[in-house]
Structure 1
């Protein structure tokens, strides 16, 4: 069994794309990216349903909470850098150990980096990390049916669609349906990044 201490913190790189722990020092770049992309990201952003605990009120509070959860092995919050510039996030959520060894992945990207295969590479790096040092067995990604950009990510990675979940997550102010995609470690013996690069080389 892989130890949790080897899973976090982690720095992973493929070409111009690096994923690394989200840091307090990302505050300015994170706020600017969210401001520039507010309208583009809003339809896909998680929101808090009535009666639930409020989300962190500041970026610093968000990072503090994520780091605390990462130390407990419950989440892995990665920032995405492209050529050293902050470009978005990939977060491994809901890590379940025991007999499941499962987690889900969510992500967002600054629109100026869209169309450059940044997110497929970032997600592939993180999936490989989950299946390697983190010792997980299955990764799931839930996507709104209308989110064509996210659907292209799982398509490029070759993830299987495994189900449809009505009113699955609270997104953009209401409970939204999601398509569910998943991959297990047995499906990518060569690694997810290697699979992605193989597919891209044959396009």
Structure 2
């Protein structure tokens, strides 16, 4: 399993996985709310526009957009977003994975790698993951990794045509002195 920055040349593979998983992911993917009456809507960006935006945010230090590769094949995306510096030093993580490989430990590994990078390389202090309460598979990812549930954010994100509640899970660097990947390996081997 590998995490690497998203690239323009990932377009064909990204679009194929995204298209094939459209129905499976629809309940969880953020959408743009309808514009106020009398205003024109915003067109969905093309893949290249999305990558340009994500890479621009990365260059500005506000985001880390990754693709998730399994055995060399693109199987998902993980984005560290909302990076805030100064007295907060925090970020949030969002992700999706191909249904064909879900449940095989790929996404917990990807989240663990990204958290270690954020804590150990970037020097962030806190990571949040916000998940719809009914998204049990995604909740299991962060629960396996030891994120603590902090509460509910009512009508937090626009998803699948409406404003949806999200559970907040969080972790600080002090909670994983051994590193997140080491913790995940211990969980998988049954040592924790």
Do both share a fold (TM > 0.5)?
yes
SS for the counterpart of 2:100 is helix
2:45: which partner in 1? 57
Q: Deviations over 1:90-144 (max 9, x none)?
A: 0001111110001000000011111110000000000000001111000000000
2:12: which partner in 1? 28
Pairwise CA distance, 1:51? 3.4
Structure 1, unpaired ranges of 5+: 1-16
1:69: which partner in 2? 57
**CA distance in 2 between partners of 1:70 and 1:192 (Å):** 22
1:83: which partner in 2? 71
SS for the counterpart of 1:43 is coil
Pairwise CA distance, 1:50? 2.8
Pairwise CA distance, 1:73? 0.3
**CA distance in 1 between partners of 2:188 and 2:126 (Å):** 24
Q: Deviations over 1:39-62 (max 9, x none)?
A: 000000100123398365210000
Question: TM-score normalized by structure 2?
Answer: 0.94
1:143: which partner in 2? 131
SS for the counterpart of 1:44 is coil
Question: TM-score normalized by structure 1?
Answer: 0.89
User: Number of residue pairs matched?
Assistant: 187
4+ residue runs over 3 A deviation: 51-56
Matches within 5 A, 1:161-176: 161-176=149-164
SS for the counterpart of 2:26 is helix
Q: 2:94 aligns with which of 82, 91, 106?
A: 106
Structure 2, unpaired ranges of 5+: none
**CA distance in 2 between partners of 1:133 and 1:119 (Å):** 20
Q: Is the 8 A contact 1:95 1:101 kept in 2?
A: yes
- What value does the CA root-mean-square deviation take over the aligned residues? 1.4
